[in-house]
Structure 1
């Protein structure tokens, strides 16, 4: 139970319950990350304690935002090794969760995690964010989109906002320095129908790490032309 207190403290700080069953799922998840990381590149972080702090606790800190707690349908875009979606699902299972990633090897890993941890109300989709956002099944269907993907805000907005219902939210998990990204993303926010609601600074238990949750409200429909075709979003960001 080496890391129980750390995870418990993080959950309690956000009004979430934590118990031994959830703890055991996190430990199993950690072990699967380490096992699969020898075959495919999931993360550069391989130390047990660092995985707990920098992946698991960092991911569940998204619940510092009340909109996240209340969302009934969530999509995690560019989920990679399952962050923040799987830690979110472990601590709170009462919403539908979709994990989207473009690499099939990572999807195979995520499916094994979902099966081994016996997680419910969660599914994976393999493909590009630009493509699924243009389908009737996924476009503007979610209360909440989340992303911890390593991309600048302008790019993330075009990937993520098309999935969000009007009145819903996109929450980006970002590092401490985001002011320049926000300034550069003003054109994208306007074009895509978003408005910055708030920035929430979060601390990570057992470390001096500080991160930000950037909360964007969807205030109007995203024009059908967004997101643009694969490659365009990153090569020619919205000004």
Structure 2
């Protein structure tokens, strides 16, 4: 077992889960030769993909049975899929992935690992008709916070917890998102900085949905991009 695999094993402490994660990593490495799923090499897949995803989400998601997590634009599956493999018996996961090649890869993982409570949707989130469906919503490195907050607001149940993984520019993103934060009456947004003992800054934006989303949200994507409320 390589040292980066051992770090993940020490985190999950379960051989069956480790074996599923190992098979998942092998599928990433195999399919990455055909498609550009991720720029990570094997070590980074284990550390920046698997370990970080499990460690960070496990700090903020406390599951009861059958609660439902949505991941926005997961790409090769980060951060939700490693966490799902860690908590498979307790949760349902939906990944909304607009790129077809990545959605096909995620469906391959679902088939090869026989994952029962995983759904892959090949759409942009703002084009779905989900309303108050999810208990938790997460995303990593998919778009800036202003857009994320708007497109995901309607999908969350009241008391849905939002967990967005961000880097060192997080406070500028929050400042840029102030208008939509006020429009949606988000009162408890905060940033947690997590030390993973590496050379990167890991910030997690968290908040809870406390009010119903206005009927005219989310707007069409071209309106969101223009940023005129």
Equivalent in the alignment of 1:129: 125
**Contact 1:154 1:188 survives alignment (8 Å):** yes
**Contact 1:80 1:106 survives alignment (8 Å):** yes
Q: Summarize the Cα distance change of 1:106–1:146 in structure 2 as closer, same or farther, 3 Å threshold.
A: same
Equivalent positions of 1:29-108 (< 5 A) are 29-45=24-40, 47-60=41-54, 61-65=56-60, 68-70=61-63, 72-93=67-88, 94-108=90-104
For the residues of structure 1 that align with 2:150 and 2:141, how far apart are their CA atoms? 13
**Greater RCO between the two (CA within 8 Å, min separation 6)?**
1
Equivalent in the alignment of 1:147: 139
Equivalent in the alignment of 2:203: 212
Stretches of structure 1 lacking an aligned partner (at least 5 in a row): 12-16
Tell me the secondary structure at the aligned position of residue 164 of structure 2.
Answer: strand
TM-score by length of 2: 0.90
Q: Summarize the Cα distance change of 1:51–1:112 in structure 2 as closer, same or farther, 3 Å threshold.
A: same
Equivalent in the alignment of 1:176: 168
For the residues of structure 2 that align with 1:146 and 1:215, how far apart are their CA atoms? 9
Equivalent in the alignment of 1:231: 222
Equivalent in the alignment of 1:5: 6
For the residues of structure 2 that align with 1:95 and 1:35, how far apart are their CA atoms? 27
| C-alpha RMSD of the superposition | 1.8
For the residues of structure 1 that align with 2:142 and 2:210, how far apart are their CA atoms? 25
**Contact 1:130 1:159 survives alignment (8 Å):** yes
**Contact 2:70 2:95 survives alignment (8 Å):** yes
Equivalent in the alignment of 1:115: 111
For the residues of structure 1 that align with 2:141 and 2:94, how far apart are their CA atoms? 15
Stretches of structure 2 lacking an aligned partner (at least 5 in a row): none
**Contact 1:111 1:124 survives alignment (8 Å):** yes
1:183: how far off?
1.5
1:210: how far off?
2.8
1:53: how far off?
1.0
